[in-house]
Structure 1
Amino acid sequence: MDYYLIAGTAGDRSPAGLLVEEFVLCDDYTAAGIDGAEWRPDTRAWSASAELSRAIRADLALRGRVTPVGRQDACAAFARLGGGDLPEEDGLRFLFQERRSLPASAPLNLGSRSGARRYRILFAGELGADGLEKALKALRLEPTDDPRVVGKASTSTGGHGFTWELRRIGAGIAWCVDVTARLGSGPVTALGALLHHHRQAIRDQGLIPVTVERFA
């Protein structure tokens, strides 16, 4: 699960609310939607969060008030806000009231004859210099000659071959990790684990994951 602290104003270190989200994935690990719930101290109750989920990805001003955190920090903030003990994740799933559906379509045929799958993990936000350095390290990226690509890496595991690239989309608009997977005979769960790791590695640098798309 993903946790976000929502401040009352930009730059305020004291959270005014908590958002809990979980991506809903299809069998091929693309994102079908986002489940979630919002908790605010003024109501002392959990509520539907689909609109907030959309807004933190589309509204630059609101995104300046959002801090992605891990569960430990979320638990501490929830207690400070007067919520007591944050429910375990199985319990939080019972609080999800509304799913934010994500656009879905069949993978495009881009003319590849290799049988490779191509994914894009899209993020809202901007990486500062420190965040970019940490992202390069977390994804084990090497520089490329392509000015559109910040770094590239590859690995083989479970009989599969994976290559991924970190790209900036516009100035201060968005980032993405593009993953090419050449699946072998091993369990396809290795693909899901890699996509999850890369999504969390960039989220740890303060960006907000938007979706996981498949292009081929």
Structure 2
Amino acid sequence: MTVDVVLPCLNEAGALPWVLARIPAGWRAVVVDNGSDDGSAAIARDLGATVVHEARRGFGAACHAGLLAAEADTVCFCDCDASLDPGLLERFVSIVEGGGADLVLGRRRPQGRGAWPAHARAGNLAVARMLRRRTGLRLHDIGPMRAARREALLALGLTDRRSGYPLQMVVRAADAGWRVREVDVPYLPRAGKSKVTGTWRGTWQAVRDMSRVLAEPAAAARVAPERGRVSGPESGGTA
């Protein structure tokens, strides 16, 4: 089994050793440096990761650059700030490879004080409710930890390059009739300060980005991964 793990990275020198040490054996870590000035790229390379440079700032820009650079049949995404253990992705991949779901998402469960600030949690809850109205998916979290087939992800035609990228992936997957599943994962206090939801202002901007994604018209029907059937926007998915 070959798996690539995309790790968007902006100044995560302190977290990289912990994160990369937990990549499952035989998998490839693809660290996407999004303009770090703390030596993150060099550290990642020294620790054996494949390093991709993405000059355009934005979480979505980094994630998509990693997806394009990936070569494995199955691709995972995970934050690079030590808040999530990439070793947990083995279960995600087993579900995808075993045909249990087309997209597996990590539902974050805070561990310890300060793991998930109130403003960030409130913003996530608001987006999850809007997502339910838009797609019918009964999801609780739009977190960054996930796994799916690479070719199927590319076929979704993702265009957002900001904070809306993870949500757009879910919305377009739902429109295509993908089976979407949540798996609980421990959410630890991150190393360093969040670049997206570390403040109320950052959280508000992320919610605005995601609101624009939810306002997009339903995508045209696409072939559902591995099943060869065409599903329209009404098909939705399961959580």
What TM-score comes out, normalization by structure 1 length? 0.27
Name whichever structure is richer in helix by fraction. 2
Name the larger-Rg structure.
1
